[in-house]
Amino acid sequence: MDVKTGFFYLFSVVLLFAAFRVITARNPVHAVLYLMLAFSQASAVWLLLRAEFLAIVLVLVYLGAVMVLFLFVVMMLDLNIDSLRQGFWKHFPLAALVGVVIALEMAYVLMGGFRQLPAAAQAAASQVSNTKALGILLYTEYLYPVQIAAVILVVAMIAAIALTLRARKDTKFVHVDDQVKVKARDRMALVKLAATQPPQAPASPATPAEGAPAAAAEKKA
């Protein structure tokens, strides 16, 4: 067994372990972290298979954007783990059966495609970078579809920004043109005030014993 085969088995074992822990982890944050580990191992396997473009896309798109977003959402949500775990083992046999069927179908399709690929095509594909070949194909034969997809994505991004930046009545803001027109002398006003005097101590209120004779004298008068 050579070094490449050893790395393939290492990445595959870690990938299977991480995928299994994704569905068995009790903490949703741990499940997301295991899913990120599984994606990283899958990208490493694709690098061994000379699929550099798929490996780079998996790392940049999923690990760099999607999974980080999932992680923040899971951390911010107050999830009730006990309610999520209810009925897991009840539906596990059906889920395992569906997973096995999907794996067998994918293996059948992929192995059939590998058997039909001529040896000369395999040798030529191993000598040419698939990323370069894909780039040449996209920007020559499929140039217009790529440009149309880019325009659609830009329009969607602008629409999302416009929907989130709509004016609200309870929002306080200042127009930029009003800020530009402000002059330095308008920002500060000098007001002349009278000289202040030292504070005087307030008179102490009369006690009830002292105030009683004064009240009696006023009644006699």
Instruction: Please tell me whether residue 88 adopts helix, strand or coil conformation.
Output: helix
Amino acid at 92: F
Lowest mean pLDDT, pick from 29-33, 44-48, 71-75 = 71-75
Q: Is the pTM of this model over 0.85?
A: no
pLDDT band of 127, cuts 50, 70, 90:
low
CB-CB neighbours of 39 under 10 Å: 20
Instruction: Please tell me whether residue 63 adopts helix, strand or coil conformation.
Output: helix
**Residues above pLDDT 70, as percent of the chain:** 76
CB of 26 within 8 A of CB of 49?
Answer: no
pLDDT band of 123, cuts 50, 70, 90:
low
